[in-house]
Amino acid sequence: MKNLRNAMSKASAGFSIIELVVVIVVLAILAIAASSRFINLRNDAIVSTMIGMESAMQSAATLTYSKAAIAGVERLESTTLNIDGVDIVLAYGYPNGTAAGIDLLMDLPDGDWQKRASVFDGAWIYWHGVIAEDAGVAQCYLRYRQATSSTARPVIDVQTSGC
């Protein structure tokens, strides 16, 4: 009988399963609330998408230059080259920074990206479609600046400070 009483008093000294579950649920809720302050998946996704877009743009420019070199027009300041049935305006063999150049090559679905001419001559700007502000206001954009000489490549800037 004495052993039974000792066993019962030891059992009541611990936590019940329900109490443990409640503590775990409360800790999980606190962890989720705290992690959302430190992890911003939306911004990370936008920046990653912009870096992917930068790579695609560099590839498009390099492939266009290769076709221009084959056609013998890579040193011309301005010309047009037919690529897959589309006339692309070139600057020194690379797509120029207009709607008739790099924008035709990128062929982006409507709504995914917003775009416009830059304040810089020969430059075209893209920003993610989920950003409501203009690229310059948001400070979250990708800018393609066309080649300025036969020895220069296009410059692709990625600005992510405002994402």
Cα 74 to Cα 95: distance, rounded to the nearest angstrom? 11
pLDDT of residue 41: 78
At 34 the pLDDT is 75
Residue 67, CB half-sphere, CA atoms under 13 Å: how many?
Answer: 18
pLDDT at 9: 53
Looking up tokens 């011309």, which residue turns up?
76
Give the pLDDT of residue 95.
97
What is the pTM (predicted TM-score) of this model?
A: 0.73
What band does 87 get if pLDDT is binned at 50, 70 and 90? very high
- Residue pLDDT, tens place only, 32-45: 877 766 677 788 88
Cβ(98)–Cβ(115) under 8 Å?
Answer: no
Of the pLDDT bands very low, low, confident and very high (cuts 50, 70, 90), residue 107 is: confident
pLDDT at 6: 55
Every domain of the chain and the residues it spans: 41-159
Asked which of 26-40, 90-104, 140-154 is least confident by mean pLDDT, the reply is 26-40
Q: Which of 51-55, 58-62, 77-81, 133-137 has the lowest mean pLDDT?
A: 133-137
Under 8 Å between Cβ of 78 and 90 = yes
Q: What is the pLDDT of residue 119?
A: 87
The overall average pLDDT reported for the chain is 87
Distance in angstroms (rounded) separating the CA atoms of residues 72 and 99: 23
> pLDDT tens for residues 42-69?
888 889 999 999 999 999 999 999 999 9
Number of Cβ within a 10 Å radius of residue 68: 22
Rounded-to-integer distance, Cα 24 and Cα 27, Å: 5
Q: How confident is the model at residue 16 (pLDDT cuts 50, 70, 90)?
A: confident
